[in-house]
Structure 1
Amino acid sequence: MDLQISVFLLFILFTAGHSFSCYVCSNLGDSCADQKLKTCPSGSSKCISLTVASQGRKTRQISVNMKMKECAVDCRSGSMNVGISKVSFSCCNTDQCNVQDVPDPPNIPNGMKCFSCDGHNCSNTVSCSGSEDRCIKAKGIVGDQSIDVKGCVSKSICDSTFIPNVQNITCCAGNLCNGAQSVTQSVLFLCGSLLSYFLMH
């Protein structure tokens, strides 16, 4: 009996000291060379890495590249393209698993197209690439303003159950299935909301 209690207490001592940790960084540039190891807060059981590539409106050439890593409560791997920016997400669930940077968002079209928004106009189209097999349409809420967002997205991102400040998320399969309409705000909000969801929760 004493041996069983001793083994149990040793097990508790060895396992209690181990905390889940992820690499963290936020870097405007091509890599997370300055990443640090962070003990994740209670409830976090996943690590996320992401790359955001913002493009010039007219040239569609990448003008800003940003790499980020953080702890997450929940996240999904995949990518999203809303015309003026692309985001690649990589999510893993083992200790310190996000040591590698996520590659830049895919640039090889997969044959699918979706409508995207550019200022007031949502009749623009964007070519989907990589795993982006769905079109997305969503409403973002900033204060008392509503923002329409459209583009290409991976099914895994569509399957997220809750994204703060984003409502009426609908995803559809098929070319241009997310419809063209006029809007009044920028499309960058959805990227910001997704990032805040993945990084803060």
Structure 2
Amino acid sequence: MDLQISVFLLFILFTAGHSRRCYECTSLTGSCADQRLKTCPSESSQCSSITSVVQVGDIRSKVKVKDCAPACQSGSLNIGTLKATISCCNSDECNLEDAPDPSTAPNGKKCYTCVGQNCTTILSCLETEDRCINATATIGGQSVSVKGCASKSVCDATTSVAGFGSISCCNGNLCNGAQSVSQSFLFLCCSLLSYFLLH
């Protein structure tokens, strides 16, 4: 009996002191050649690797980020000017490899995206992006609306995507924009018109 208790206490002692080790890197040049290992805080149980492509007009930039994560889901996010692939793993040093470049192959799904204050631009979703999203992001201290495409796994994540707040997802072409509002408005108008005509 004493041996079992001793083994149990040793197990608790060794596992309680173990922290995840992940590679860390932030690169605005598209290369994580200078990545380094870090010991994660106790609340971080996963490692992440993100490859993003940002394109504004003719200016295109690839950004890579690796770090510890409290929780994360592998998947894809596309808001038009920003496309990102997120890779998550849950063992020490598992994020050595970079997340793959975001896909450029459309999958046939369409969602609304925002260009400035106008959120009626139609965006072609890529590969695994099977949901439309509505979210808010804080840019320069201001909260702005963000719309686009995402993988189901990103929508199902229990924590929000870094930099984004209040993410909501829907399934169906153009379900994240003005069309669904105008359909509801049209239904309301038809209901009111039939009420006035029949009474």
Instruction: Provide the TM-score with structure 1 as the length reference.
Output: 0.76
Cα contact 1:142–1:165 (8 A) shared by 2: no
1:142 deviation in Å? 6.2
Query: CA separation in 1, counterparts of 2:16 and 2:117?
Result: 54
Output one character per residue of 1:100-138: Cα deviation in whole Å (capped at 9) or x when no partner: 001111111111111111112111111111210001112
The counterpart of 2:175, out of the listed 164, 177, 198, is 177
1:178 deviation in Å? 1.1
Query: CA separation in 2, counterparts of 1:112 and 1:42?
Result: 39
Query: CA separation in 1, counterparts of 2:12 and 2:117?
Result: 59
1:31 deviation in Å? 2.4
Cα contact 1:133–1:173 (8 A) shared by 2: yes
**1:79 is matched with which residue?**
76
Identify unmatched segments of 5+ residues in structure 2: 180-199
Query: CA separation in 2, counterparts of 1:121 and 1:10?
Result: 60
Which segment drifts farther, 154-163 or 81-90?
154-163
The Cα RMSD (Å) is 2.6
The counterpart of 1:160, out of the listed 157, 173, 176, is 157
What secondary structure does 1:98 align onto? coil
**1:27 is matched with which residue?**
27
Query: CA separation in 1, counterparts of 2:137 and 2:16?
Result: 41
**1:136 is matched with which residue?**
133
Question: How many percent of aligned residue pairs carry the same amino acid?
Answer: 59
1:108-127 pair list within 5 angstroms? 108-127=105-124
1:56 deviation in Å? 2.6
What secondary structure does 1:97 align onto? coil
Determine which structure has the larger helix proportion and give its number: 2
Cα contact 1:109–1:130 (8 A) shared by 2: yes
Change (3 A) 1:27 1:142: closer
Instruction: Provide the TM-score with structure 2 as the length reference.
Output: 0.77
Query: CA separation in 2, counterparts of 1:118 and 1:6?
Result: 62
**2:189 is matched with which residue?**
none
Query: CA separation in 2, counterparts of 1:11 and 1:179?
Result: 53
Q: Select the structure with the greater relative contact order (CA < 8 A; seq sep ≥ 6).
A: 1
2:100 is the counterpart of 1:100: no
Identify unmatched segments of 5+ residues in structure 1: 182-201
Query: CA separation in 2, counterparts of 1:137 and 1:6?
Result: 53
**1:146 is matched with which residue?**
143
